[in-house]
Amino acid sequence: MNNDVKRIHPHKFTLWVAMGSIIMMFAGLTSAYIVKKNQANWLEFSLPGVFWYSTIVIIASSVTIHLALKSFKAREMSRYRLLITVTAALGILFTILQVLGFFSLEARNIHLTGPNSNAASSFLLVITALHMLHVLGGVIAILVIFIRAFNSKFKSYSSVPIEVISTYWHFVDILWIYLFIFFNWLR
């Protein structure tokens, strides 16, 4: 028996299973959107410009978490702390920009919920709100490692937690890019 077999860390394996489940959920939601789009009363509208800004922000946050991971592995702890802080702030900014996008739609009389809403806008709300929840989950995980990075009592140099969070963060970034393309050009 070969003992040199590399095994995936249990946390990484669990993450990959979870990401597969999330992909299936969003595939189902976007498929339902396409099916529902064939209704006669479907409302066509363009996304507010603020969604473009939120896309730039989440892409930037993917760069910062990548650099944070590299800094952690190089034991450049002050740079790591700075980059993980910036990543968390960009994640929060992404969520704020998404909410501002919803307000912009409401200001254009594109109601997301209630009696004056349309299935198109309600689908947008549900799908993007679910994505925002996944981003906020990532922000919470980033805040946990942020606190650990500044806690002098915590001296673990295992890169597994930051690797797991980094992989998840890139995943929610790619998921948003898919949704952004879907809502702008594929729908």
Calpha distance 147→48 (Å, rounded): 35
Calpha distance 125→98 (Å, rounded): 10
Q: What is the pTM of this model?
A: 0.87
Confidence of residue 89 (pLDDT cuts 50, 70, 90): very high
Q: What is the pLDDT of residue 2?
A: 55
149-183 pLDDT tens trace? 777 666 667 888 899 999 999 999 999 999 999 99
Q: What is the pLDDT of residue 143?
A: 87
Mean pLDDT of 44-72: 95
- Angle CA(130)–CA(9)–CA(71) in degrees, nearest 5? 80
Q: Which of 35-44, 98-107, 140-149 has the highest mean pLDDT?
A: 98-107
Calpha distance 145→157 (Å, rounded): 12
108-132 pLDDT tens trace? 998 888 888 888 899 999 999 999 9
Q: What is the pLDDT of residue 117?
A: 85
Question: Is the per-residue pLDDT at 35 higher than 70?
Answer: yes
- Angle CA(101)–CA(67)–CA(98) in degrees, nearest 5? 5
Q: Which domains does the chain have, with CATH numbers?
A: 46-186 (1.20.120.80)
Calpha distance 187→181 (Å, rounded): 9
Q: What is the pLDDT of residue 114?
A: 86
